[in-house]
Amino acid sequence: MADKQKKTKLQLHHLKPAPGSKKKAIRVGRGEGGRRGKTAGRGTKGLKARGNVRPGFEGGSMPLQRRLPHLRGFKNPNKEYFTVVNVERLGEFAAGSTVTPEDIRAAGMVKKRGRVKVLADGELTTKLTVKAHAFSKGAVAKIEAAGGTAEVVEG
């Protein structure tokens, strides 16, 4: 008898949930006679009895997503970051030479990639042409006092 039964291939329309796994939805608010009539299990009055409460609503107190930014500060997306080198360190280069940001990195004076700024800490005695992305006013004054020039490089 088993070989006479027609074997059918399992298809999507044959699938159905296991018996008892799908419960019927409880229909609330269908008359005053039943247990879930009239207020439909929502109690009386108040915001939650009337409509939908939006996600994150905390009953009128300051919501978490608005409280947190006050605690963790602010990060400026437009801030310019520089690696700094002082004028005193530039004295290690040979007199009369041109010093570029690549030379400063190659000498190990700055570790990070990016833009280089020259600051005025220390003294400079050698005449140098210094090219960097930014200079402090004091650094420009010290480089020019030593007979050199300070040139701003773009990028």
Average the pLDDT over each of 32-41, 63-72, 100-109 and give the range with the smallest value: 63-72
Residue 5 CA: distances (Å) to CA of 1, 2, 8, 9, 118: 7, 6, 9, 13, 90
pLDDT at 59 over 70: yes
Look up residue 56 and give its two tokens: 């994150």
Q: What is the pTM of this model?
A: 0.53
Please tell me the class of the 82-152 domain: alpha beta
Percent of the chain with pLDDT over 90: 52
Domain ranges (residues) in the chain:
82-152
Residue pLDDT, tens place only, 113-146: 889 999 999 999 999 999 999 999 999 999 999 9
pLDDT at 4 over 70: no
Q: Which of 112, 113, 124 is nearest to 149 (CA)?
A: 124
Amino acid at 146: A
What is the 8-class DSSP label of residue 80?
A: P
Q: Is residue 128 a contact partner of residue 99, using CB atoms and an 8 Å limit?
A: yes
pLDDT at 100 over 80: yes
